[in-house]
Every structure is written in C-alpha cells, then in structure tokens.
C-alpha cells in the first residue's frame, strides 16, 4: 500500500471566520469550498503546500466543546517555515499571539502560538 496523510480536520466555530484567518492572516490558499447544503467542504493549504486543513464547522455541543482543544491542550499542529524571523515578525504584526519568545532547540528554532480558535501550534524552522 502507498499512502499519505492528505488532510487533517480542524473543528472551527464558523467557516468564513476560519477562511479569513487562514487565508488573509496566515497566507494559506483556499483549495476547496463546496456547498453541501447543511455544511460545506472547505480546505486550505499552506503557501508551501503539504497537508491540507479541512475546516469543519462544529455541529452540536460535543464538537463545540472540542474547538481549540482537539489535542487536549497540547501543541498538535506544526507550521514549518524556511525563515523563522520573517514569518514570526509577519505573524506578530498581523496580530497572532505567541505564547513564548522564540527558542533554539536541537531540531530548530521554534515558538508556540495559538490560532483564534485556541489551537496550539509550533512555528518551526528546522535546523
């Protein structure tokens, strides 16, 4: 079998709010937005490609409770960059809140940030 992870679902409160953040603030590309009646199939992709996010609007109390906590409070999304300083400055100027100052680890330069929905991410430039 040849397989790859193509997409990861990210539970969000609203499609358009999530599209605005990821495409306007983060510079992702809207790859699909298909109306399916009661819901939409919405995917976004980082500018450098890779795994797409399926922006899944929460439906019901259990899914609403999972917004921003899909990984139980852990960092679970890793945005890789080829220029940490450039992207950290751009994101900060756009209002993205970092939880910590950048730090250098054996694997690269990294800092934790949260998206507007509460998900914890690493911005990372590998060594």
Give dist(CA 14, CA 6) in Å, integer: 22
Number of Cβ within 10 Å of residue 113's Cβ equals 20
pLDDT digits (tens, 9 = 90+) for 47-59: 999 999 999 999 9
pLDDT digits (tens, 9 = 90+) for 45-99: 999 999 999 999 999 999 999 999 999 999 999 999 999 999 999 999 999 999 9
Residues of CATH 3.10.180.10 domain(s) within the chain? 1-67, 73-127
Distance CA 39, CA 3 (A): 27
**Secondary-structure class of domain 1-67 per CATH:** alpha beta
Alpha helices in the chain (DSSP H): 15-19, 61-66, 84-93
With 0-12 / 13-18 / 19 or more C-beta atoms within 10 angstroms meaning exposed / middle / buried, residue 115 is buried
Domain spanning 73-127 has what CATH number? 3.10.180.10
């Amino acid at each position: 079998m040849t397989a790859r992870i193509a997409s990861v679902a990210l539970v969000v409160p609203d499609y358009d709010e999530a599209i605005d953040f990821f495409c306007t603030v983060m510079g992702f590309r809207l790859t699909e937005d298909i109306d399916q009646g009661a819901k939409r199939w919405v995917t976004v992709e980082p500018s450098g490609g890779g795994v797409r996010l399926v922006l899944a609007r929460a439906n019901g109390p259990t899914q609403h409770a999972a917004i921003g906590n899909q990984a139980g409070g852990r960092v679970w999304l890793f945005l890789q960059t080829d220029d940490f300083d450039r992207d950290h400055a751009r994101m900060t100027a756009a209002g993205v809140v970092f939880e910590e100052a950048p730090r250098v680890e054996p694997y690269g330069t990294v800092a934790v940030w949260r998206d507007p929905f509460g998900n914890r991410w690493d911005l990372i430039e590998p060594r």
